[in-house]
Each structure stands twice: as C-alpha cells, then as structure tokens.
Structure 1
Amino acid sequence: MPKEITLNDQICFQISRAHQLFNKFYQEPLDEYNLTYVQYITLLSLWEKDGVTVNFLSQKLGLSNGTLTPLLKRLEKAGWITRNRDKADERRVLIHLTELGKEKKEPILQAVQGCLNRLNYSDDEFAAAMDTIIDLQERLEKTNDK
C-alpha cells in the first residue's frame, strides 16, 4: 500500500511555510526602515545594478509589472528611488536609487545579516542550503518551459 500523502510531506507546503516565516523573520530588521520584504529585495536588486527598467526589475524579482509598479510608487513616495521616463525611449521607465537609497544600503544589509546570523548556519551549511534551493528552482523552471 502506498504511503499516505500528508500536508507536511508536500514540498510546496514546506516552501510556502518557509516563505511566510522568512517574511516575518526579515520584518524585524526592516521595520526600522519602514520597508517590506518585497521592497527590500527591490532595493537589493538596485544596489546590485542601479538605473534599470521596470521590465528588468520585474524579470529579476519574478514579479509582474502590475505588482511592481505600485511597490515602486511607494518606494518613490518614501524617497528611496526615482522613476523617470527614458529620454531615448519614452516607453521605458528607468528606476534609480536616491541618495537615501544609497546611504541606507550598508545599515540595512548589516541589520539583515545580523538577523541571518541567528539561523546559526556554518558557511558550508549555508552553501549547501543555497545549492538545494537553486537546484529546486532550476528543476521547476525546466518543467515550466515545457
């Protein structure tokens, strides 16, 4: 007789639960900066490469333009970024960090790293966890390409 399938045996459930816990986990260091987790990863992407299009961010973050646009408007209103039409192509909107967005990079990254340190991963454990997660993502992407 096959093993009974339970909720806790489902990878999708465990990933969803881990995602919920990570959002809550990250909220502690981000509250000081009035940022949500999704706003944080948007800034993280801009710290890697500033002056990108909305479409670039959408693809990098895996968010639809419909989700990203209101988020970017809130970041702009709070003074983290600017959104301007590309002079070379008016259809494109370019996203740039403001001075606030640049100045707060190190303090935010330190706060988040302090939070991550509480997970007590060794360097090898962290690398193994990342390898497993990336492998799963790649497997999922392959199945979605079919």
Structure 2
Amino acid sequence: MPEDPSPSELMRLDAQVCFALHATSRAFDAVYRAELRDLGLTYPQYLAMLALWETDGPTVKRLGERLRLDSGTLSPLLKRLEAAGLVERRRGRRDERSVTVHLTEAGSALRDRAAEVPRRIGAITGLDVEDLHALRAILRRITDRLDAY
C-alpha cells in the first residue's frame, strides 16, 4: 500500500490534480484550435454547436447552463455564430424575455463537416475508446462532487 505523500510532496505543482487538468485543458485548446480552423469555429463555439446539433432551439438560459457559461460569455459567442450565419436567436412570442437559439441551414450543414473532429481528437490523445470513456466518467464524478461542495 503506498504511503501518504509528505506535506512537501503535496505542495509540488506537479502533484496537483487541478494543475494536470489545467495543463491538459490548455493542450486540448491548442489542438482544437488547429482542428476547428477549417470550420471557422473557436472551441467554445464548437461546444455550442455540438449542443445545438443535439437539441435545436433551446433557450439561451438553458444553453448557458448546458455549456456552463454565463450570459456575459455566451451572448457574444452567439452573436458571432449569428453573424457567421450558423444560428439565429428568436424572441418568444408569449414572453419576449425568453430567447431561443436555432440552427440555420448552414449551421445544420456544418455538422457533417465537423463529424470527424471527435475521432481525430481521440486519435491525437493516443487513448483507446475504453480509456476515453473511463476518463470521461472519472471527470464527471469529480465535477459532480465539486458542484455539490
């Protein structure tokens, strides 16, 4: 059974799970930047499009919750997607405060071009499908625990 790490070992940067996640996230950002260039999307825009390809027409509020983005970050992102002709925002007929986000024809069509991105990213990581599923499950458990804190 491994010994508990010493206090000095616990204080090492490389011993921090949060730093490992941060470094991995930055590395993913760089890879996604290159992979998404031809699609004309940033990584956050790609995530928004993934959510919309899955469920078209959510409220801006629901989309923000799903992406874990506040309105100050989501609104400019949606404006850029709208300016690119990929989405349109619509005010509710019954409640003008409610705004939904819908794919345009061009936004829907972009899905086919983006379909290979997850496979390419998976291959770049060097992890097999089972390892990727296990990693995602661990990260979801961590997120759930941190959210409950």
Q: TM-score, normalised by structure 1?
A: 0.92
1:18 to 8, 18, 24: 24
Decide whether the 8 Å contact of 1:29 with 1:108 is kept in 2: no
Larger RCO (CA within 8 A; separation ≥ 6): 1
2:84 to 54, 78, 84: 78
Residue 82 of structure 1 aligns with an amino acid whose one-letter code is E
1:89 aligns with 2:112: no
Structure 1 residue 111: deviation in Å? 3.0
CA distance in 1 between partners of 2:110 and 2:103 (Å): 11
1:30 to 36, 39, 61: 36
Partner of 1:129: 135
1:43 aligns with 2:73: no
Q: Which moved more, 1:115-124 or 1:91-100?
A: 115-124
Unaligned runs of 5+ in 2: none
1:106 aligns with 2:112: yes
Aligned residues: 143
Root mean square deviation of aligned Cα: 1.4
Q: TM-score, normalised by structure 2?
A: 0.90
Show structure 1 runs of 4+ deviating over 6 A: none
